[in-house]
Structure formats: structure tokens, C-alpha cells
Amino acid sequence: MPYDLLIKNGTVIDGTGAPSFKADVAVKDGQIAEIGRISDGADKVIDAADCVVAPGFIDPHTHYDAQICWDGAITPSSWHGVTSAVLGNCGVGIAPCLPESREVAMRDLVSVEAIAYEVLDEGITWDWETFPQYLDAAAARNPTLNLAFLAPLTPFRHYVMGAESMERAATTEETIQIRDLLSEAIDAGAFGFSSTILNQHLGYKGRPLACRNASRDELKAYSNILKQRGKGAIEVALTRQIGVLDEDQCDLLDFLLDESGRPVTFIALFDRDDIPEAVRDTLRRAAPMIKKGARPQTSPLPLTREINMRNPFSFAAYPSWKRIFEDKSLDAQKAAYADPNFRNAFRGDLERKITISNWDRIRLHETQNPELKRLEGHTVTEIARMDGKDEVDGFLDVVIADNLACEFTVSSFNTRPDRMQELLNNESILIGLGDGGAHLDMLCDSGYPTYLLGTWVRERQAITPEEGVRRLTSDPADFFGITDRGRLKEGLAADICVYDPETIGSSNRGERRFDLPGGGKRMVMPSRGIQHTIVNGTQVYADGALTGDVGGEVLRS
């Protein structure tokens, strides 16, 4: 029989963890039709000699909820062999949403995911109100990649409770209404729901993101939806200190597992050399919950990000910085940065070690003031010593002198190769945390699949090629219950990535682009070694560029 597509002479890594083998892969009507030595012809033939043929990668943690309105290819994920992405993480999103609440939803994304308001205001189409309508609108755009959605709890609470969702727990009647909306979302195809308890997740006007106010009674009602339906998963931003799981967080994780009867993934499990045993301690504490289906989530990348002082998300965990987010006008922020009381409060936060405060890792990357150019490339510690100041004064004085236009970079977390090898070989850990679509002005980690295969598989040989592919494909598919993808098997969807194992990779340092709506800036991570990406049988990426063809769909649980 003639096939639509035939991929010949490749080394097949099927996504299950089984040993690789030489075979051809044939595609017909969007599905994998045959795997083996195939002599029949095809409308299109790809010679995959010297290449790996793998399932398309599934990214379990993205924030492309708004970006799908203007970029159906959800770049840069589509450059890295990703064929399916999970949206709606961390409890923040844009559906359901009443017309009068659109600014609140956008401001939540500005504060939590560091996406410029001007970009959102110009780019979001708002051709929906309810969550099922949002899924239908996404499908109508004919996306390049497959899109799977979690139901983020914040907009559901706000839809029912309005502004009070940012102040208090829901009443019994309100909980029932929110539960019914979530039920509708799950029935429409959502793969579960997401939430957060992180202090730095502040939303509209510096208030706690609405889902942070959900009571245990609420969470029980929402979790029970999944138990009743026997499907779905929960994603929660759980560790108030990155990599550190405290007793109350263990209790919440256990509660969600019991009440939902479904798997729960929690973030963020980054290795910290300032708290050397944090990850090991967290894994020991989480061990009973991991047996029940908990999956801590990490990234294979060292976390290197930019710090923009107009939207200083990196400091949001410090209580003293709350005022910076309450009034984000330039004059108000400059006044706060100059205020000795603010600086002293910040010093107090640093002494309490609320989060990482290693000034040697924060480096002045770029300034606009010519008089400050001499300081570019230096760490905050070095700059402070040059001027005879402590780091807080040295840092904030530069910020003010550059009219808050300067950019810093900070390298933190996942920097110890031996500990990273330990994490990557722990099968209980879900690899993801690419955060695609979020924190656009400071970092881009969505190229983690090619980084994993290039750095940790080929260069460091920390894990095998078969295990690297499994962790990017069938592992996230099984977690979310995406049953027709994540493996190369006859009868499953033809989501396929063909890559050169000798060149695949990416840097962990992004490149600047100004291609967002209105010319907004973002950081992107280019890829190397991805030869072909096929989504539902359609070739969407070839030889380093998108083809312009679209093959994606909205996946439904």
C-alpha cells in the first residue's frame, strides 16, 4: 500500500526505554502505520540515515495560554522537537474570563509569568468566555503543535467570586459553583487542574493570586472531580523555597493525592548548592507521597535568567519587595529603590535567607547610561567593592542611575553536575519546567529537550539515549493520560522527531528577539540537530525551520 510518509534507515528509539533498533517508519492518515523494513512506496520519503527517529517530545509545563493567540507554532518549543505542550500550569490563565475581568487576568500573567501587559493587550483575541469555549477557540486556530490544557484554578475562582477571590476562601455555595465549572472543563477535555501556594505568585495589584486563597474544603471538592471521573492530574507550585519541601507542603501534597486519587506533579525541584542537601531532603520527605503518585518536577538546565528591574520577578519572594509590585509606575519604583527603609527591610529579608542571595552570581549584563558601561560584565559584589558600598546599595544605586533600564543576569540552581546526574537518573522525577511562554524578558528554558539530549546524553553520558527519549515522551504522556502519543507504535498518532544524535543540543543562554505583538522583546533558545518534526503525520519542521504547514490539534482528556 502507498503511504503518506516513509522515514527510512533511521535508528528507532520508541519512547518506552527499550533498546534502539534499525527500522523504517511509515505514516498513513496521521497515524503510524508500520515499523520495520518497508518496501512499499510513499508520497514523501525522508532518509533518516545516521539519525534517531523518536516520538515527538511532550512538554509538561508551559505557559503558552496567551501566545497561542498570535503564534500557533508556539515557538521556540516547536524548534526543539516538541509536538505536544501542556498549558495552564501554576494556577494562572485566561479562561474562563468575563469581559470586565480581562485586565485582571492579564495583570495576573504580567506579575506571575512576567509577560508584558502591552503584549497581552494587543495579542490576546478574547474570542471566548468559558473554558470549553477557550478550548474550541484554540482548536479553531489550527495550531502547528498539539495543545493539552490544565484548568488553572485562579480564573475559575475569579469568574465566580470576582475581586474577593484575591482576598478570601470561597463559601460553600461559591465552592459548588467553582466545582461545577471545573467539572465542565474536565468534561470538555482538560487534563486536570493546577494551582500554587507560592508567596511570590502575586497577581493583580500585588494581591495574592486567587488560587492561593483556596481552602482545604475547596481543594477537596475540586480534587474529588478527578477521583469521580477516574482521570486527570494536578500540577501545583508547592515549594515556597525552591527545592525545599516543608512539612505543611508535604501535608498538602498528601491531601491532594488522597482526595483526587490521581497523580500530582509539584515544582520546583532545583538543586541548590547554597542548601546542598535540599533536594535529597525533599525527596526523602516526599517518598511516601511519591509512592502514591507524586512527581517532583525539574529542568535539566542550569537556571540562568535575566533580571529586569521594572518587573523584578526574581525578588518577588522577598516580603520587602511587595511594594514594588503594588505600584509599578516608574516613579514609584524609583522612589522605593531609593528609600532607605526599603533597603533596610531588604537586608533583613536577606539575613533570613528567604531565597538565594549570592551576589557573586548576579552580573550586570547591559546598561543604557554611558557612564555605567564600565560596569557591564561585573558582578554586584565587584561593583559594590569598586564603589565602597555593600551589595544592596551598590545594586540599587546602579538601578536608579540607569533609570531602571539596566538588565542583570543571575546563574542559580542546577549547577552541580554530580547532583544533576543524580536527579536525572531518579525515575520519580518528571523532567520539564521549560516554562515556555513565560518570563519572556529574562530567560528561555523551553529548549530543555535538546539540551537534555545534547548535554546530558551525548556529552556527559549521564543517561542513555533510550532513557533520555523516554523521559521526554512516554513518561509525561503516561502522567497526564495522553494515551495515543509518546511512543512509536503502530496505530498511535504520528508525532515523530528525527534528530542527529551527534549535533543535537542547545545553549542555556537565550537570544533576544523583538517579535512579540507590538514589537515586544523576548528571549528565545535556538536548537541544533533537529532534522524533522512531524505532528499527526504533517511535517511542521525541517532542516532548521518551520515549514508553514500545521498538523496540531487540541488534545482532549
Q: 120 and 233: one domain?
A: yes
DSSP string, 491-523: TSB--EEEE-TTT-B--SS-EEEEEEGGGEEEE
Q: 84 and 153: one domain?
A: yes
Residue 46 within a domain = yes
Residue 439: φ, ψ to 5°: 50, 40
Each of the 557 residues of the chain gets a pLDDT tens digit; together they read 689 999 999 999 999 999 999 999 999 999 999 999 998 889 999 999 999 999 999 999 999 999 999 999 999 999 999 999 999 999 999 999 999 999 999 999 988 888 889 999 999 999 999 999 999 999 999 999 999 999 999 999 999 999 999 999 999 999 999 999 999 999 999 999 999 998 878 888 888 899 999 999 999 999 999 999 999 999 999 988 889 999 999 999 999 999 999 999 999 899 988 789 999 999 999 999 999 999 999 999 987 777 888 888 778 888 999 889 888 899 999 999 999 999 999 999 888 765 556 788 888 888 999 999 999 888 899 999 998 999 999 999 999 999 999 988 887 789 889 999 999 999 999 999 999 998 887 778 899 999 999 999 999 999 999 999 999 999 999 999 999 999 999 999 999 999 999 999 997 666 889 999 999 988 899 999 999 999 999 999 998 999 999 999 999 99
Residue 332 within a domain = yes
Burial-class residue 241 by CB neighbours within 10 Å (0-12, 13-18, 19+): buried
Residue 324 within a domain = yes
Q: 77 and 36: one domain?
A: no
Residue 365 within a domain = yes
Total domains in the chain come to 3
Give 86's Cβ-side CA count (13 Å radius): 34
Q: State the sign of the Cα–Cα–Cα–Cα dihedral 284, 289, 295, 297.
A: negative
User: Which residue has cell 528561555?
Assistant: 444
Q: 241 and 142: one domain?
A: yes
Q: 385 and 255: one domain?
A: no
Whether the bond into 517 is cis, omega within 30 of 0: no
Q: Are 85 and 143 in contact (CB under 8 A)?
A: no
Q: 234 and 350: one domain?
A: no
Domain boundary among 382, 412, 442: 412
Domain that includes residue 325, residue range:
306-412
Q: 31 and 87: one domain?
A: no
Q: Are 417 and 381 in contact (CB under 8 A)?
A: no
Amino acid at 446: S
The helix (run of H) or strand (run of E) holding residue 412 is strand 407-412
Q: 140 and 220: one domain?
A: yes
Q: 148 and 275: one domain?
A: yes
Q: 177 and 234: one domain?
A: yes
Q: 145 and 75: one domain?
A: yes
